[in-house]
Structure 1
Amino acid sequence: MSIISYILSFKAYAMLPIVIFAIDLMISIKPGQALKSSLTLGVGLAGIFIVIDFLVTNVGPAIDNLINQRSLNYPVMDVGWPSLAAVAWASDIGMVTIPMVLLINIAMIYFNVTRTIDVDIWNYWHFAILGVMVKKATGSFYVAVLATAVIAIITLKLADWTAPLVEKRFGFKGISVPTVSAVTFFPVGVIGNALLDKIPYIKDLHANPDTIKKKFGVLGEPVIIGFVIGDFIGIISGYDLKGILQLGVCLAAVMVLLPAMAGVLVEGLNPISEGIKDFMQRKFPGRGRLYLSVDPALLMGNTSVLVTGLLLIPISIALAFIIPGNRIIPLADLTNLMTTISMVILATDSNVIRALILGVPIVAVDLLISSKMAELFTALMRFYGISGEKGYHGLMSSFTDGGNPLRYWLFEAFKGDVYGYASLPILVLLLYASWRACKKFRSSGGAMIEEDFKV
């Protein structure tokens, strides 16, 4: 446990290059090239986190100002996903999760059931937190471990199915995103996109960075879009002219810098992606390609993801005011909306309008679930010594990860709730729809192979 705790103390941008360097050497990539590519990957990931921190630092005070101006006082504080991650890694379930998921992943690769190599160990907390929740509700360590294994397997399969689309539509080659906060919403995007295809007028609306540029010229450039969104957030937050302009430039910078850092990360991934492909062809002829897991922060480098996520920030706050039963004001997790919406953007082929429409019910569900789970999350945070804001003694939750519908669905089922059991067929249908959508993409000319779609 001490060794695992020490490993987890590394930042993702330091730990991942170490893991990638070791894999590079195992698949016979030259040490010099392995060192350069793994460090380049780390630099790209560090750059993404730096830009995200810059975004949070500048948007956070604006949202605080907006809430304070309207004298809002909701009983549940949004303390963000890091608090849930801290709970997961402080628990006994968290310590078991790492070796268990690694073994599951190895077994699935060996038996050709998955194509994802999940080396993003830090993000295993997304699996572990479900186990912690189930153990708290049931008192059973073994049921909690089973729940952790189930959500890991579901996530790996969704990552497999979506990886070729990530390559084709986002341009990120040889990677997959086995992170619950992202892939959960791909089935929602698939079903929602199919429903929007049936609605007159809306089905004909299409807006992605390319079409926006063609229609609006220089005004459609990402840097201009970021500036306008930043100004809008500044205006509704009650900023003066200086504050509005500064926030506009900050978001314009984010729109330029995040894609640039994503490009650096991809540059570091390319050698290991090709190396794994060559290794599999040598050792397992005809077995097919493998995908390397990455943090969903990479997807924020896509302009459509950035634009949609930023637009959802004021929409989410507005929804929090009007949805009956909501007890939380989105705050710490607001910028995580870009992770939440990324796979919806993927499913809609970067259609910002459709993603925004589908984002409204997604945000509403996140708000209601995170409100409902506040007592449980607060109890867990208190038990593991995570108090949120200094001196705060009220209820706490996480707007996005605390409201994740897949994790909540499985939690209700594993704790024995009759409605959780009864609704599991709907979950199966959503997963089947996702599999069919990805397979249909392959048959229509996408660069995929049949084995990518084993159920």
Structure 2
Amino acid sequence: MFVIDYIVSTGASVMMPLIFIILGLALRLSISKAIKAGLMVGIGFIGLSITVNLMIDSLTPVSHAIVERFGLNLTVLDVGWPAAAAVAMGTRVGALVIPVCVAINVLMLYTKTTRILNVDIWNLWHHAFTGSLVAILTDNLWLGVFAAGLNCVITMVIADRTSKDVEKYLSLPGIAVPHGFSVSFVPAAWLVNAIVDRIPYVRDIKIDTEVIQRHLSILGDPASLGAIIGAILAIIAGVDVKTILQTAITMAAVMTIIPRMAKMLMEGVYPISERIQEIAQSRAGSFGQISIGLDSAVSVGHPVTLSVSMLMIPIMLILAAIIPGNQFLPFASLTGLPFAFVLVTAVCRGDMFRTLLTGLLTLSLALLIGTSLAPIVTSTAVSTGFSLPNGASSISSVDYAGAMLPWAIIQGFDLKAIGIGVVTLGSLLLALWNRRKIVQENLQLVQESHIVVAETGEKS
């Protein structure tokens, strides 16, 4: 625990290179290749972090101006994901979540209930968040740890089921995204796809980067699209011309730089991923493909993801003002919305129309969920010594207190034995269903490889 805590305390930009170097050496890569892989991952994470922080610094005053202009006066303050993560990792559940989730990942790999090797250790705080709230709610540490474990299992299954979409539509082969916040929006995306596919004419609507480039060429370029959306947000906020121009240029830079930083990070991931595939195939041909689990930051710069996220900032503020029963004022989390849509973009096949529909549904629910969980989030924060902002009596966050997955688990544990049983059984069934899918997919891979071998032999 001391070693793990020390590594985590160094931050993602140091922690991830260390993990990849150690992993590379354990997989018997040469020392030079392992070190280079780790350094490229670290450089990519630093580049992504700097660019995302640049976006946050630019959009925060614009978001604040929009809040003031709308005159929103709601009682639950949004403290953002950094505060939520600090609260989650500051509890007793947070102290145990890393070894527990690592053990779950290893067990799921051996039982073939997942194909993901998750190295995104830092974002295990999402599971700790769920577990911490359950521990406070039930006054039982071990129920909290158990809830965190179930959150981990469900997240891994959903990440597995979206890995092909991540490869195809986000251009990230061999990568999965077991990021708690991103995963929580996937069921809604599946639902939206299912509904839209059954509506004539509506199902034919498609707005992806190719369509935009064909009809509105200037919007098809990420830099131009970022500049236009940034300028529109600033104009809505009613800021001066100087700030409008600065916001537009910054968003153009963000849309251009993030994909390049992600590509650099992937240069470090590929050697590890390829080596894992080699070992898996040599030791067990039916084991199939293994995916590396990474932070959703690897694809936060997709044009559809960023575009929908920025469009949802003013929309979410309007929703906060008009949805009955909402008391949650979104603010600090607004600039983190891209992380919510990474997997939604993949599941919606890169279609902006369906991604936006999913955003309207999920973020409307996020406001009500954030309001619902505010009392227990506040209690948990206070118990860890977290200082509430001046004038705030109740706090929450879109990430992770506004997500459907933790809310569902917490509601289940609040129902005592019956609810806990339902959530546990549901998680087990999901894992077994995923195992069945994995076995079928592995069998298909083996059959396809035999066909290729046979065809090669005939040609020879």
Shared fold (TM-score, shorter chain, > 0.5): yes
* Corresponding residue SS for 1:286: helix
User: 2:75 maps to what in 1?
Assistant: 75
User: 1:226 maps to what in 2?
Assistant: 226
Moved more, 78-87 or 104-113: 104-113
How far, CA to CA, are the matches of 1:105 and 1:448 in structure 2? 28
1:320-335 equivalent positions in 2, closer than 5 A: 320-335=320-335
C-alpha change, 1:93 and 1:55, in structure 2 (3 Å) is same
Partner amino acid, structure 2, of 1:299: S
Alpha-carbon deviation of 1:301? 2.5
User: 1:313 maps to what in 2?
Assistant: 313
Cα pair 2:93 2:128 within 8 Å, conserved: yes
Cα pair 1:261 1:301 within 8 Å, conserved: no
User: 2:11 maps to what in 1?
Assistant: 11
User: 1:252 maps to what in 2?
Assistant: 252
C-alpha change, 1:312 and 1:419, in structure 2 (3 Å) is farther
User: 2:383 maps to what in 1?
Assistant: 383
Alignment pair present for 1:238 and 2:238: yes
Cα pair 2:286 2:446 within 8 Å, conserved: no
* Corresponding residue SS for 1:178: coil
User: 1:453 maps to what in 2?
Assistant: none
Cα pair 1:320 1:326 within 8 Å, conserved: yes
How far, CA to CA, are the matches of 1:202 and 1:14 in structure 2? 47
Partner amino acid, structure 1, of 2:71: S
1:123-152 deviation digits (Å, cap 9, x = unpaired): 111111111111111111222121111111
Moved more, 244-253 or 412-421: 412-421
C-alpha change, 1:261 and 1:148, in structure 2 (3 Å) is same
User: 1:369 maps to what in 2?
Assistant: 369
Partner amino acid, structure 1, of 2:234: G
User: 2:413 maps to what in 1?
Assistant: 414
User: 2:105 maps to what in 1?
Assistant: 105
How far, CA to CA, are the matches of 2:415 and 2:352 in structure 1? 39
Alignment pair present for 1:85 and 2:81: no
Please list every run of 5 or more consecutive structure 1 residues that lacks an aligned counterpart in the other structure. 451-455
User: 2:398 maps to what in 1?
Assistant: 399
How far, CA to CA, are the matches of 2:446 and 2:301 in structure 1? 22
C-alpha change, 1:193 and 1:421, in structure 2 (3 Å) is farther
Alpha-carbon deviation of 1:4? 3.6
* Corresponding residue SS for 1:373: helix
Alpha-carbon deviation of 1:423? 8.6
How far, CA to CA, are the matches of 2:426 and 2:50 in structure 1? 36
1:75-125 deviation digits (Å, cap 9, x = unpaired): 111001111211121111111111111111112212222111112111111
C-alpha change, 1:431 and 1:253, in structure 2 (3 Å) is farther
How far, CA to CA, are the matches of 1:352 and 1:157 in structure 2? 25
Alpha-carbon deviation of 1:347? 1.3
With the length of structure 1 as denominator, give the TM-score of the two structures.
0.91
Cα pair 2:192 2:357 within 8 Å, conserved: no
* Corresponding residue SS for 1:117: strand
How far, CA to CA, are the matches of 1:427 and 1:65 in structure 2? 44
Alpha-carbon deviation of 1:419? 10
C-alpha change, 1:76 and 1:449, in structure 2 (3 Å) is farther
User: 2:455 maps to what in 1?
Assistant: none
Alpha-carbon deviation of 1:312? 1.2
How far, CA to CA, are the matches of 2:425 and 2:283 in structure 1? 40
Alpha-carbon deviation of 1:402? 0.9
Cα pair 1:134 1:414 within 8 Å, conserved: yes
Cα pair 1:168 1:447 within 8 Å, conserved: no
Cα pair 2:66 2:236 within 8 Å, conserved: yes
C-alpha change, 1:271 and 1:447, in structure 2 (3 Å) is farther
1:45-92 deviation digits (Å, cap 9, x = unpaired): 111111110011010001111222343221111001111211121111
User: 2:30 maps to what in 1?
Assistant: 30
Cα pair 2:77 2:392 within 8 Å, conserved: no
**How many equivalent pairs are there?**
445
Alignment pair present for 1:126 and 2:126: yes
Cα pair 2:230 2:251 within 8 Å, conserved: yes
Alpha-carbon deviation of 1:201? 2.8
User: 1:177 maps to what in 2?
Assistant: 177
Cα pair 1:209 1:222 within 8 Å, conserved: no
Partner amino acid, structure 2, of 1:411: I
Identity of aligned residues (%): 33
1:136-183 deviation digits (Å, cap 9, x = unpaired): 111112221211111111111111121122111111121111111011
Cα pair 2:207 2:353 within 8 Å, conserved: yes
With the length of structure 2 as denominator, give the TM-score of the two structures.
0.90
C-alpha change, 1:168 and 1:32, in structure 2 (3 Å) is same
How far, CA to CA, are the matches of 1:43 and 1:227 in structure 2? 26
How far, CA to CA, are the matches of 1:354 and 1:219 in structure 2? 18
C-alpha change, 1:419 and 1:195, in structure 2 (3 Å) is farther
User: 1:116 maps to what in 2?
Assistant: 116
Alpha-carbon deviation of 1:378? 1.2
How far, CA to CA, are the matches of 2:185 and 2:419 in structure 1? 19
User: 1:268 maps to what in 2?
Assistant: 268
1:347-389 deviation digits (Å, cap 9, x = unpaired): 1101001111121111110000101111111111122122243
Alpha-carbon deviation of 1:5? 3.0
Partner amino acid, structure 1, of 2:86: A
